[in-house]
A and B are shown apart, each in its own frame.
Chain A
Amino acid sequence: MLAMAAAPLAALPASADTRSLAAGLETDEDFTGDIDTVISATRIRQPLTESPSSITIIDRDTIIASGAIEVADVLRLVPGIQVAYPQGNQLAVSYHGFGDAFPRSMQVLIDGRSIYQPSFADVDWLFLGIVLEDIERIEVIRGPNSPLYGSNAVSGVINIITRLPWQDRGTAARITAGDLGTRNGMLRHSGRHGALDYRVTLNYQQGDGLEGDSNSTNDGRRLSGVSFRGLWNPRPSDEFDIQLGHAAGDLGGGAEPQHDPPPHDKQVSSDYEFVSWRRALPDEAEFRWQLYHNGYNSDDDYRDLLSHAYNIPPAAIPLLIPGQADQLADFGLFDYRGQRYDLELQHTSPASSRLRTVAGAGIRLNRLKSEVLTNRDDWIDEWSERVFVNLAYHASDRLRLNFGAMGEHSDKFGAYLSPRIAANWLFDPQHSVRLSYARARRTPSLVESQFNNVHELDDGTPYLIDFIARDPEPETLTSVELGFTGYWLKRRLLLDAKLFYEKTDDRIRFVEDLALQQPFPAITPVIPIHVLVNDGYTKVAGAELQLKYQTGPRDFISYQVSKLDTDLIWSVQLNPDLVLRQPENVAPRYTASLLASKTLPHGFEVSAAWYHISNMVWLGDGDRIQGYKRTDARVARRWRSAGSDMMLEAIVQNTGNDYITFRNENLFETRAFLRLTIDFR
């Protein structure tokens, strides 16, 4: 018996537990080993009832139900936001009005990467580098949020959070076809290699632009892109997020009204490289480091004969520009390159159950190179540094205090501080009122600060001046808001309402300076020189409300409405006799939207959206447009075939009458699309 007992037992290999996992066997390490930490993509996570700002969350179900074809489409569901098409291949998104073709007062982030452009401070919604299918949700912080997100977050923050690679294992494809020559395709593969979860997405977009253009503007698109996201967890407490993307294509170059060029394209490309390292520290603290680069190239090298561009006989050119014959000249305004490099460190610590802090610092380099926009052939750089801190304090069971401040310094605009303080009173965890005060500054974009749009002939002779920057200073926004957030019916019903007042001082705008004379006035008698200056202030007072009722797991109805009263005081009138546009209704008095979605038996889904915007004026090249009502509808069916999940959608946008978008020539007609998504499991 002893001899039998002495039979040795082979020692198990050291990797037994790992193999057990693969073999589907439990071990005690399942209960004691570390697991990867889940970290929010947002700086600080709070319940809506305790947030210092109003937030609209557009989740994936909402995105799908909306029938959106473009990312910016879904933002119509945010109270107070206006979305328009300056051209068929350009989208403008503004909040509380005052928008032109390049709205530039909202910070837009993708997974923490700021994507508004250093050139115009706007966002090219076609070249985001991601596709709609990659988005998990969009959080729109309505109201100034510079204390957390920096100088461009004056009127709000659009925080786009993409899906994590492991949320979409396998391969998927989507094709969309429909009106306006729309032919879109997407192919995505997600997988895992060791501790790396990755996703690669290819996409292609093609469209003819707005069909209702009376001047047949060339505003189509043909672009393709590739993006990569990898999440690597070398240890459970460490996560590296690596994102790369490149997109390139041809966009119709539109038509400058005074030039009326024949159709020509501009070649646009964008790329980004992003890496972040997040470490979960003891006591729920977190350290994050991120570095990224955005690049954007717009090659608009259209050339035309002077005589054709100005519609005058060739023989007249030497008379109008002495010593010069009719000749080809550059007319592409959007010929520029922009770059951004950004490094940021952030530390998040709960500190205690009553006080949570987020603090960090960053450094940024914005670069612009554009001879046509700046009359310089070198790179123009702006260096800025920032430090920020935010404190969320549980003063009592019912009172929450939020204090935040960001200090920024720019080598072009000096130092400034953006503070915010908010107090939330909780009647109970589901209902609260909020009072907040914030000041925020928006620094001029590099184009705004360096604009020197002088048209020159090939020999360097300047013959026309369009725009000149006259040292604009940052705009300053002061905001006060009173908000209410409440849940009912077991949190299925959410109501968020706020009253607000905003005043923006030192508005940056173009004014015509008749004291300045064109180099050759004879050729351009009616083209004044615009100077970019700080001019007066604007006020917006209003109310916003959003209501969402979740009637089932994927069924809901949401309603959003805003009322805006605006007031403009222009203090500088360089040309009081020649005001091309009286800027009234620069924000629509009313915006409203409604979205309802219902799942039906046999995999069917139906949803309908309704949007309303009252009369408003788009600034810049925009026009005073009539208010409109628009209804979209979507019918979809999901089914399973040959091991794959299928979804076929029929989408109709604007089932009613055509409406004008951005300018009178741009008609938004009824559009219909078919979209097929195949998820190969």
Chain B
Amino acid sequence: MWLMCLLLLTGQVRAAGILLVASSGAELYDRFIASFTASLPAGEFGPDSTKPTIVHLDEHVLTRNDLAASELVISVGTRAARAVASLKPAIPVLYTVIPESVYRTLVTPGGTCATHSAIFIDQPLARQAALARSLFPAAVKYGVLLGPTSIQRQPEIDALEQMTGRELVVSVAGHEDEIIRTSSRLLYGIDLLLAVNDPLVLNRENAKWLLYAAYQRGLPVIGFSRAYVTAGAAGAVFSEPEQMARQAAEVVQRHAGAASNCLPAAGFPHYFSVAINQSVCSSLGGASCDEEALSALLTSGESEK
């Protein structure tokens, strides 16, 4: 054990390999695992462990023994993150496919060298705003509906206002029951809505309310998941499991080759996709409804920064 700790302190992840903990055997997590595994070069992590160990929480009860045999844990999904965090692992953990708000409740921010990190499933509002700008360049007032959880993103909104030159109109609701009234008022004074998830106010159970209200007023909604687009948002940015897996594999490879044991700071996913609802986009007069072109435009825009 002391030997393992020594290895960890120097970042030399080699023999014991990686433990992948997935919330369940759901397709989403399997896609992440398959993509992550395929992204790792054979033998990179030592002759004894060319492939990570995989645990599905719906089949296996996670114990400290599982962690003891590993050098790096990657949790996939919220449930997996909670299970891993509850064991207070001393080894590095990369939490993936997890909302930022959950991560903040599980992990206390470390010092300059964090052994815990995350790839959030949330999308940065700046990315949603970039899509909004490309789709509807004439829109100048962006609306955001926040709730008790998503209010934490207020600083991000303030920064976005400075960055984009657009006016960000924010309404805050305390509970789901207030969403209709609050969003009605909000929708009156804006040109476009950026959807931000909040479990108590705007969630997948009631997202249709906001989508419908916006639809009625002919306002585009820019979402953060493909489901939003299917349901009626004009467009959305989101990260596929494969894209988050690719980033996780890159983190692991950099970590394996690094002299220190520090993980990069937790953050939003680097790789993402763009989805456009062709009907809604064209009916609302979108400047371009071409998913591939928009994706390329946004990607190049981010890489220039």
Answer whether residue A73 sits at the interface, using C-beta atoms and an 8 A cutoff.
no
Instruction: List 17 additional A-B contacts (Cβ < 8 Å) besides A9-B83, A30-B199, A47-B218.
Output: A4-B64, A8-B61, A11-B61, A26-B78, A29-B204, A30-B204, A35-B204, A35-B231, A38-B212, A39-B232, A49-B285, A136-B216, A169-B177, A280-B231, A284-B230, A490-B140, A491-B191
Answer whether residue B250 sits at the interface, using C-beta atoms and an 8 A cutoff.
no
Complex Cα distance, B219 from A586, in Å, reads: 41
In contact, A31 and B61 (Cβ under 8 angstroms)? no
Known: A28-B121, A31-B224. A5 touches B99 (CB 8 A): no
Answer whether residue B36 sits at the interface, using C-beta atoms and an 8 A cutoff.
no
At the interface with chain B, which of A15-23, A214-222, A251-259, A416-424? A15-23
* Shortest Cβ distance from B78 into A: residue: A27
Complex Cα distance, B218 from A430, in Å, reads: 13
In contact, B231 and A169 (Cβ under 8 angstroms)? no
> Which residues of chain B from 224 to 252 have any CB-CB distance to chain A below 8 Å in the complex?
224-225, 227-228, 230-232, 238
In contact, A353 and B290 (Cβ under 8 angstroms)? yes
In contact, A681 and B78 (Cβ under 8 angstroms)? no
* Shortest Cβ distance from A426 into B: residue: B285
Neighbouring A residues of B114 by C-beta, 8 Å? none
Neighbouring B residues of A491 by C-beta, 8 Å? 191
Neighbouring A residues of B99 by C-beta, 8 Å? 26-28, 30-31
* Shortest Cβ distance from A392 into B: residue: B282
Neighbouring A residues of B204 by C-beta, 8 Å? 29-30, 33-35, 236
In contact, B230 and A30 (Cβ under 8 angstroms)? no
Which residue in A7, A26, A37, A394 is a CB contact (below 8 Å) of B282? A394
* Shortest Cβ distance from B218 into A: residue: A47
Neighbouring A residues of B282 by C-beta, 8 Å? 353, 356, 394
Shortest Cβ distance from B247 into chain A, in angstroms?
15
In contact, B225 and A32 (Cβ under 8 angstroms)? yes
Answer whether residue B207 sits at the interface, using C-beta atoms and an 8 A cutoff.
yes
In contact, B67 and A5 (Cβ under 8 angstroms)? yes
In contact, B101 and A26 (Cβ under 8 angstroms)? yes
Shortest Cβ distance from A194 into chain B, in angstroms?
11
* Shortest Cβ distance from B206 into A: residue: A166
* Shortest Cβ distance from B141 into A: residue: A490
Answer whether residue B108 sits at the interface, using C-beta atoms and an 8 A cutoff.
no
Which residue in B63, B140, B198 is a CB contact (below 8 Å) of A8? B63
* Shortest Cβ distance from A40 into B: residue: B215
In contact, A12 and B79 (Cβ under 8 angstroms)? yes
Known: A12-B79, A29-B204, A490-B138. A47 touches B230 (CB 8 A): no
Answer whether residue B49 sits at the interface, using C-beta atoms and an 8 A cutoff.
no
> Which residues of chain A from 595 to 636 have any CB-CB distance to chain B below 8 Å in the complex?
none
In contact, A164 and B205 (Cβ under 8 angstroms)? no
Known: A7-B64, A30-B199, A236-B227. A429 touches B278 (CB 8 A): no
Answer whether residue A262 sits at the interface, using C-beta atoms and an 8 A cutoff.
no
Complex Cα distance, B99 from A555, in Å, reads: 40
Q: Which B positions have Cβ atoms within 8 angstroms of A?
A: 1, 23, 28, 57-58, 61-65, 67-68, 77-79, 82-83, 86-87, 97-99, 101-102, 121-122, 138, 140, 148-149, 177, 180, 185, 188-189, 191, 197-200, 203-209, 211-213, 215-216, 218, 224-225, 227-228, 230-232, 238, 277-279, 282-285, 287, 289-290
In contact, B208 and A47 (Cβ under 8 angstroms)? no
Complex Cα distance, B208 from A37, in Å, reads: 7
In contact, B1 and A37 (Cβ under 8 angstroms)? no
In contact, A350 and B64 (Cβ under 8 angstroms)? no
Known: A33-B204, A47-B283, A350-B279. A28 touches B78 (CB 8 A): yes
Answer whether residue A10 sits at the interface, using C-beta atoms and an 8 A cutoff.
yes
**How many of A's residues come within 8 Å of B, CB to CB?**
63
Complex Cα distance, B230 from A166, in Å, reads: 20
In contact, B211 and A16 (Cβ under 8 angstroms)? no
Listed residue (B185, B204, B213) with the most chain A CB atoms within 10 angstroms of its CB: B204
Which residue in B28, B209, B287 is a CB contact (below 8 Å) of A32? B28
In contact, B64 and A5 (Cβ under 8 angstroms)? yes
* Shortest Cβ distance from A51 into B: residue: B283
Neighbouring B residues of A33 by C-beta, 8 Å? 204, 227
- 11 chain-A/chain-B pairs, Cβ below 8 angstroms: A4-B64, A12-B57, A23-B199, A24-B148, A26-B197, A27-B102, A36-B231, A37-B231, A38-B215, A280-B230, A553-B188
Complex Cα distance, B57 from A25, in Å, reads: 19
Shortest Cβ distance from A450 into chain B, in angstroms?
42
**Which 4 A-B pairs give the minimum distances between C-beta atoms?**
A5-B64, A553-B188, A38-B232, A36-B208
* Shortest Cβ distance from B229 into A: residue: A284
Complex Cα distance, B289 from A394, in Å, reads: 12
* Shortest Cβ distance from B82 into A: residue: A12
Neighbouring B residues of A166 by C-beta, 8 Å? 180, 206, 209
Complex Cα distance, B287 from A353, in Å, reads: 13
Neighbouring A residues of B213 by C-beta, 8 Å? 167
Which residue in B199, B209, B215 is a CB contact (below 8 Å) of A26? B199
Answer whether residue A526 sits at the interface, using C-beta atoms and an 8 A cutoff.
no
Neighbouring A residues of B225 by C-beta, 8 Å? 31-32
Complex Cα distance, B188 from A553, in Å, reads: 5
Complex Cα distance, B56 from A14, in Å, reads: 12
Answer whether residue A581 sits at the interface, using C-beta atoms and an 8 A cutoff.
no
Known: A47-B284, A167-B180, A284-B278. A24 touches B1 (CB 8 A): no
* Shortest Cβ distance from B205 into A: residue: A21
* Shortest Cβ distance from A429 into B: residue: B285
Complex Cα distance, B191 from A50, in Å, reads: 20
In contact, B98 and A10 (Cβ under 8 angstroms)? no
* Shortest Cβ distance from A34 into B: residue: B227
In contact, A17 and B78 (Cβ under 8 angstroms)? yes
> Which residues of chain A from 34 to 71 have any CB-CB distance to chain B below 8 Å in the complex?
34-40, 45-47, 49-50, 59
Which residue in B97, B188, B227 is a CB contact (below 8 Å) of A28? B97
In contact, B57 and A26 (Cβ under 8 angstroms)? no
Neighbouring A residues of B78 by C-beta, 8 Å? 17, 20, 26-29
Shortest Cβ distance from A75 into chain B, in angstroms?
20
Complex Cα distance, B287 from A618, in Å, reads: 48
Listed residue (B148, B206, B279) with the most chain A CB atoms within 10 angstroms of its CB: B279
Answer whether residue A137 sits at the interface, using C-beta atoms and an 8 A cutoff.
yes
Shortest Cβ distance from A288 into chain B, in angstroms?
14
Shortest Cβ distance from B109 into chain A, in angstroms?
19
Known: A4-B64, A284-B277. A26 touches B82 (CB 8 A): no
Shortest Cβ distance from B202 into chain A, in angstroms?
9
